[in-house]
Amino acid sequence: MTEKDFLPQPYTQTIENGHYSWTAPSNIALVKYWGKKEHQIPENPSISFTLGHCKTTTTVSFSKIVETDAFSFEVFLDGVLKEDFKPKIATFFERIHAYLPFLKQFHFKIETSNTFPHSSGIASSASGMSALALCLMRIEQALQPDMNATYFTQKASFLARLGSGSACRSIEGPLVVWGAHSAIDGSSNLFGVPYPYDVHDCFKKYQDTILLVDKGEKQVSSTVGHNLMHGHPFAQERFKQAHTHMSAMVSILKEGDLDRFIAIVESEALTLHAMMMTSMPYFILMKPNTLEIINHIWAYREATGSKLCFTLDAGANVHLLYPENEASTVLEFIDTTLAGYCQNGHYINDVIDLGAKEL
């Protein structure tokens, strides 16, 4: 498919007003996306677990207006008007206007909330942009009722990507691939697709506990971080590594090879941070407590034979990934050893799930 496939045909229906609500989850990448081309196209493929509890709920109310050159909307977070959110939404609308030409024909009231604290250090852009894209797609579906379900889902993911790259992986679940890869049929740079091959039972109820090491805002935005991959001395080798890891994941996920899974997931996390530490300018986003946690995980795994591993986003917080049959022992380890390295002892227990839902 190409971008032109998402340009709509003339709408067959008219609507005056209404509202739609969706809840969409965050996701955690196993093979990381870091580095992008023009129009939010990834430099390498990625695969992620879709989370179940860390979600954004968004309601979009709309009413017909006389079309102007500007977008008409207001944004509320937890019932509070957020003027500082408007520039990002305006940029998003500008990027997707060609694909949703009705955007200047309505006034939109966007009301959003997260199940996780806004200051928790968990990025809400993936869940937020995917929920918003799904609400907008329901408006288009009302204007074009013969739209089929596959097109609806793929276009929602396509639009979400233009708001936040990783948001395209938050439409479906439990494992989603984004980025064209020769070993994965149907994979695309334009939208996320459910992982199409066999997955061992051990991965089907995987757990993710998020250790909140630092609840502050990021030192560097994701957009800036991705752009620093342009001209990065190790960028091309990194992109090759990601392709190699994606190929390896096919057999790992089929066979339930947890040792190889751990090796790739942790390597990907550390490579992501190595790319930031060796860019120009350079950043260290891990905190001392991040490193303490990682060392405790390695010692725990050595002592117990556990299949617990960690991954990281572009920040200090640590995602602990582990099979469901280890949940009770890992939670005890968290409470007795790791929680003390979290800000105010806070952590969030989550589990992989199936993706966004309409309310």
Taking the C-alpha atoms of residue 128 and residue 145, their distance in angstroms, rounded to an integer, is 25
Looking at residue 355, the DSSP 8-state letter turns out to be B
| Distant-in-sequence, close-in-space partners of 293: CB < 8 Å, separation ≥ 6 | 211, 213, 310, 318, 338, 341
In tens, the pLDDT along 299-331 reads 999 999 999 999 999 999 999 999 999 999 999
Pairing of strands 106-114, 72-77: parallel
- Could you give the 3-state DSSP secondary structure of residue 147? coil
Taking the C-alpha atoms of residue 76 and residue 108, their distance in angstroms, rounded to an integer, is 11
Q: In the prediction, which pLDDT does 286 show?
A: 96
Q: In the prediction, which pLDDT does 121 show?
A: 61
Widest distance between CA atoms in the chain: 68
Task: Give the dihedral sign, CA 10/11/16/22.
Answer: negative
**What type of residue is 293?**
I
**Using N-to-C axis directions, what is the helix angle for 86-96 and 149-163, rounded to 10°?**
130
Pairing of strands 175-178, 207-211: unpaired
In tens, the pLDDT along 7-30 reads 999 999 999 999 999 999 999 999
Q: In the prediction, which pLDDT does 123 show?
A: 67
SS (H, E, C) 238-282: HHHHHHHHHHHHHHHHHHCCHHHHHHHHHHHHHHHHHHHHCCCCC
Q: In the prediction, which pLDDT does 219 show?
A: 74
Which phi-psi region, left, alpha or beta, contains residue 187 (left: φ > 0; alpha: ψ -120 to 50)? beta
Low-confidence residues of the chain, pLDDT below 50? none
Query: What token pair was written down for 337?
Result: 């050893």
Q: In the prediction, which pLDDT does 145 show?
A: 97
Taking the C-alpha atoms of residue 99 and residue 29, their distance in angstroms, rounded to an integer, is 27
**Residues facing residue 261 across a β-bridge:** none
Taking the C-alpha atoms of residue 190 and residue 177, their distance in angstroms, rounded to an integer, is 11
Q: What is the pTM of this model?
A: 0.96
Q: What is the CA radius of gyration of the chain?
A: 20
